Structure formats: C-alpha cells, structure tokens
C-alpha cells in the first residue's frame, strides 16, 4: 500500500488492530505494533519523522525523504494517547461518548431538545458539554497498556461501530 500511494496526494495511515468492542475477537498477540510497521517501511523507503499538525493528533507522521508523500501510524494499542485525546462522539440517540471504549454515554438529548418545557440556550448547552468534558476520566487504552483493570468485571463497552469509531 505504501508503494501504491507513494507519489500521490493521498496520505496513508496504518492503525494497529484495536479491540473495538466485544464482537471482533481481539487478542493482543494479533497486534502488529506500529513501530514494526515503520521498521518494515524503512527497509524499503527512507523516512523522516514529521511534527504533528495539531495537539491531539492521533497519527505519528512520516514523510518520504525524497518528498514523494506522507504516511502515518496510529499506535492506539502500543502507545495509547488517552492523555492527549480531544475527541468526542454523539450517537444517533443523543448520547455523548468521550471515549471509543466507553461503557456509557452522557445523555444530551433532553438538553438539546429542552427538558420539562424549558429550552436551553446555546451558552447553557456549551457549558454543560464543557463540564462533562472537564470531568472526563476515560483512560481505557492507557489502563489496558499498564495492565490495570479498565472497568468492572462483566462491564461492557460500547461497540465502536455504534458511535462511528
């Protein structure tokens, strides 16, 4: 794939095999670490590291030394980036998920539609979402990497396809 897209405006991203829910049969021994992907690519191409475009960017960026394009790797398993995450997702039912691996979302539907006949201003909605964000403590990938229990036994997380992973 790297050879195919080299020299085109397409920026190829390689992402580690992720445990995206309870249905994909994920196992850590099936993960090809992104560091090994870069090693394999460097056997074929001269690569130079590139700084992130913005804070919280998930991909580690590399360019071909001859200027023929860019690739990236997303180390979602071997180098979790929870501490730098700046993403949230809104489900079709109006639940705000702060992590791809969350076991529950924050119900925004009542706030967005109004509750008990009360309509909330844009400022109130923004403040409520800001408070949810400030209180976030989702660190599933970092906890998993540190061999810490990331959730209670039997607690299920949302399937990534449900929230648009």
Q: Which string of DSSP letters, residue by residue, matches 56-80?
A: T--SEEEEETTSS-EEEEE-TTTT-
- Please give the average per-residue pLDDT across 128-133, as a whole number: 94
Rounded CA gap, 11 and 5, in Å?
A: 8
DSSP assignment of 83-130 equals GG----EE-TTSEEESSTT-S--EE-HHHHH-BTTBPPPHHHHHHHHH
Picking from 63, 80, 92, the residue whose alpha carbon sits closest to that of residue 16 is 80
Residue-wise pLDDT tens digits, 51-90: 999 888 889 999 999 999 999 999 888 887 777 788 888 8
Rounded CA gap, 25 and 107, in Å?
A: 29
Q: How confident is the model at residue 144 (pLDDT cuts 50, 70, 90)?
A: low
Are the beta carbons of 125 and 61 closer than 8 angstroms? no
Residue-wise pLDDT tens digits, 14-58: 988 877 666 667 677 888 899 999 999 999 999 999 999 988 888
Residue bearing tokens 């539609």:
113
- What per-residue confidence (pLDDT) applies to 12? 96
pTM listed for this prediction:
0.70
Both tokens of 101, joined, read 């691996």
């Amino acid at each position: 794939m790297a050879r195919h897209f080299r020299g085109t405006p397409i920026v190829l991203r390689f992402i580690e095999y992720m445990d995206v829910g309870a249905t994909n049969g994920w196992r850590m021994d099936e993960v090809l670490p992104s560091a090994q992907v870069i090693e394999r690519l460097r056997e074929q191409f001269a690569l130079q590291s590139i700084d992130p475009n913005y804070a919280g960017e998930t991909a580690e960026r590399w360019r071909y030394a001859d200027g023929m394009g860019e690739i990236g790797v997303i180390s979602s398993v071997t180098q979790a980036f929870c501490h730098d995450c700046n993403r949230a997702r809104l489900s079709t039912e109006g639940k705000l998920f702060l992590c791809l691996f969350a076991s529950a979302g924050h119900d925004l539907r009542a706030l967005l539609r109004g509750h008990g006949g009360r309509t909330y201003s844009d400022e109130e909605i923004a403040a409520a979402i800001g408070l949810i964000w400030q209180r976030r403590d989702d660190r599933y990938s970092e906890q998993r990497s540190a061999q810490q229990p990331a959730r209670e036994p039997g607690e299920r997380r949302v399937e990534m396809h449900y929230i648009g992973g």
